[in-house]
Chains A and B, each alone.
Chain A
Amino acid sequence: MTKGFLIFAQNNPDIDYCKLAVYCAKRIKLYMDLPVSIVTDSPEWLKESQPDADTIFDKIIVFYSNTTQTKKFNDGSMFSKKLEWKNLSRVDAYELTPYDQTIVLDSDYIVSSDFLEKLFNSNNDIMMFRNSYDLAQWRDTTSFEYVSKSIPFYWATVLYFTKSKEAKLLFMLVKLIRDNWQYYRSLYKIDSAMYRNDYAFSLAIHIINGNVDFNYFGTIPGTKFYTLDKDLLIEVKDSTLKFLVEKEKYHGEYIGTQTTSVDVHVMNKYSIARIIA
């Protein structure tokens, strides 16, 4: 059984996802020493800007998707920009992965432990995080608990799957939801007009579960730590990450905090790029 990580990196004019993917891959190698492949629509840029890409990545998979959305990207609580967001090809991971056991990771996921390596020993065919922990702690996290009133929220940030009938079925269903997003969002009364992988996977899991809160697929044990793009990553020193998180009721002010030896989903891509530079 082959096992490895798969990272999607589809650049927009402002954010270099290839750079983030290389950083993410280096940390995976450091903590788990497992193969990492990249799926990108900018192979020339990847090789030009990251000369060591060929040695870092097990495979560079070129995949073009002409469908994009627009999303507001924040850099702390005082700056934001509307940019292209190419998040629609995540559902192709099942066909694209070169591994029997795969963990699909967001490029803004900062690995600081070997926690994910243990997933490869699991009996489950599909696993995603359901529990999460916002480092700011005061924000309303209801939208990360339920997609709509009764549909549990699953994070597509870290997605473990094996080449299996169950996983194939899930990915087929997610593809169907993606291609008919407006229909499914009105059927399940989801407010967001924007397609999100988290929503599509959560809906698919809910449908497979027979539209009840049951757990046919496994959840990743433990918690996914995250910071929103309104927070700032200010330093990475080995497995310690230091942050300034948005302060409650004081727009533009922050509180210092840190994590040690846990992986963190850092949604502020600008701040990761600054750390890498």
Chain B
Amino acid sequence: MDERLEKALQTSNFLASLNLIRKTTFEEFKQNLVFYHSGCSFLADLSFLTQIQTLKQSEFTAIVLDINNIPCYIDDLESFYQNCLSTYKLAVEEYHNKYQNIKKQRNIRNLIDL
């Protein structure tokens, strides 16, 4: 095969792998945002954090809908918010580290560490 063509093919395979791993890493991040409280499940993303922050400005307790639309009574909004925030921080830090590592790689072998 022509050397230039082979190089082009390698680059395209590398980019395809890079894209896949980036997407998968983002999905892993979303999975890590899931947390449970009083038997209900929540997704600690920024929009949910903002909602809770808004609620806790004027309330100490609240009823919040979980992922399955089940109303959940939160008896201590502040500690619920902290729990949510720490879940988000952990997940986003892990995502950031993984992303930085992916960004540095220049070939498939290093990318999936074969």
Cα separation A262 to B28 with both chains bound (whole Å): 7
Residue pairs across A and B with Cβ atoms less than 8 A apart, 15 shown, are A122-B41, A124-B68, A133-B27, A135-B20, A137-B20, A137-B23, A218-B68, A255-B13, A257-B17, A257-B112, A259-B24, A260-B25, A261-B32, A262-B27, A262-B31
Q: How far is the CB of A247 from chain B (nearest CB, A)?
A: 7
Contact A123 B28, beta carbon cutoff 8 Å: no
Q: Which residues of B contact A (CB under 8 A)?
A: 13, 16-17, 20-21, 23-25, 27-28, 30-32, 34-36, 38-43, 67-70, 98, 108, 111-114
Residue tally, chain A, CB below 8 Å to B: 30
Cα separation A122 to B42 with both chains bound (whole Å): 11
Cα separation A256 to B20 with both chains bound (whole Å): 8
Report the tally of A-B residue pairs with Cβ distances under 8 A. Answer: 83
Cα separation A121 to B42 with both chains bound (whole Å): 13
Contact A218 B70, beta carbon cutoff 8 Å: yes
User: Would you give the 0/1 interface string for A217-236, flagging 1 where the beta carbon is closer than 8 Å to chain B?
Assistant: 01101110100000000010
Contact B31 A222, beta carbon cutoff 8 Å: yes
Of B25, B27, B30, chain A has the most CB atoms within 10 Å of the CB of B27
Across-interface contacts of A221 in B (CB, < 8 A): 34, 41-43, 67-68
- Let me know if A183 is at the binding interface, CB within 8 A: no
Q: Known contacts A137-B20, A219-B67, A255-B20; decide if A260 and B28 are in contact (CB<8 Å).
A: yes
> Which one, A219, A223, A247, contacts B31 given CB within 8 A?
A223
- Please report which residues of chain A, range 202-221, place their CB below 8 angstroms from some CB of chain B when the two chains form the complex: 215, 218-219, 221
Cα separation A215 to B65 with both chains bound (whole Å): 14
- Let me know if A118 is at the binding interface, CB within 8 A: yes
Contact B98 A260, beta carbon cutoff 8 Å: yes
Q: Known contacts A124-B68, A219-B68, A221-B43; decide if A258 and B31 are in contact (CB<8 Å).
A: no
Cα separation A151 to B25 with both chains bound (whole Å): 30
Cα separation A123 to B70 with both chains bound (whole Å): 9
- Let me know if A115 is at the binding interface, CB within 8 A: yes
- Let me know if A266 is at the binding interface, CB within 8 A: no
Q: How far is the CB of A37 from chain B (nearest CB, A)?
A: 24
